[in-house]
Amino acid sequence: MSKFIRPIIGLILFLIAWEMAAINFHNGLLPTPVEVASELFRSLFQREIYIHSLFSISRVLVGFSVAIVSGVGLGLLLGHYKLLGQYFTFIIELIRPIPPIAWIPLSILFFGLGNLSAFFIVFIGSFFPIFTNTYFGASSLPKILQNVAGTFEIRGFVFFRKILFKYSLPYIFSGLKTGLGIAWMSVIAAELIGAQSGLGYYIQLNRLMLRMDNVLLGMLLIGFIGLLLSKILDKLEVFAIPWKK
């Protein structure tokens, strides 16, 4: 059986299970896949769902970009300069387990309801996996390669860019993949509570109006966009790390 057929069969089984659950436990709250599909078809011709999706995506891109720059930069620095790392790794390890959603009250307090707050939650969610993986990569640069760089007098910025960064790239991408998943989950959480737009807000609004077909449509879109972003990152990884082919 081809590897393309199996996921399709899995999807069909999932849809059958959903349909049966919606029929057997039907109390008007769980819409059937057909109802959601027809809502999806109707929404495709309306601006609303695109605007909400774009708001969510743009928030992820901003927060995630800031997390990449700071997480990779700090991870390389602290991973290479072990003494410097000793000052900060404890505090980072202390903050790391705090889930992004726990930061929402603080972010609303500091940044109010809106974009800044969502950027911050996305940043917090994606920073730690990116930082931790980069740190691990940079600190595991083999001694022999450090010695070779010393012999050939490759130092300073060139060392960071051509040796440390490139060596750490597979680790960085591992962090980016985890970070992007958390970033996408974080933005929905932030929008559910503290935003006036985005897919999280769309779900919350429709929940209040008891439009469960729209709630499920929003959830499906979250899954679809998350999958799309993850696939884009996979393609970028192949392009950025050609020696690992």
Partner 1 sequence: MLKINNLTHFYSNANQQKVPIFKNFNLEIKSGEIVALLGPSGCGKTTLVNIIAGYILPTSGEIIVNGLKTSNPGKDRVVINQENDLFDWMTVYENMSLVSSSHQDVDKFLRLSGLHDFQLSYPGELSGGMKKRLSLARALAVGSKFIIMDEPFGSIDYDLRQSLYREFLSIVREAGITVLIVTHDIDEAIFLSEYIVLLGQKPTRILNKFKVNFCYPRQNEIRQLPEFMNIQKVIIEGYGSSRSAIGNNS
State in angstroms the smallest separation of the CB of 167 from partner 1.
Answer: 7
Q: Please pick, from the candidates 151, 156, 208, 209, the single residue that binds partner 1 as defined by CB under 8 A.
A: 151
Closer residue to partner 1, CB minimum distance, 67 or 169 = 169
| Angle (nearest 5°) at CA 241 between 82 and 185 | 75
| Alpha-carbon torsion, ordered 124, 128, 134, 137, to 10 deg | -170
State in angstroms the smallest separation of the CB of 129 from partner 1.
Answer: 22
Q: Please pick, from the candidates 12, 148, 210, 227, the single residue that binds partner 1 as defined by CB under 8 A.
A: 148
Q: Please pick, from the candidates 36, 124, 163, 187, the single residue that binds partner 1 as defined by CB under 8 A.
A: 163
Contacts of 212 (CB under 8 A, 6+ apart): 29, 30, 31, 206
| Angle (nearest 5°) at CA 20 between 17 and 24 | 140
**Which phi and psi (to 5°) does residue 204 adopt?**
-60, -45
Q: Stretches 6-14, 39-47, 164-172, 188-196: which one binds partner 1 (CB under 8 A)?
A: 164-172
Closer residue to partner 1, CB minimum distance, 2 or 151 = 151
Q: Please pick, from the candidates 145, 210, 236, 238, the single residue that binds partner 1 as defined by CB under 8 A.
A: 145
Q: Please pick, from the candidates 150, 196, 230, 231, the single residue that binds partner 1 as defined by CB under 8 A.
A: 150
Residue 133 CA: distances (Å) to CA of 52, 116, 230: 32, 26, 17
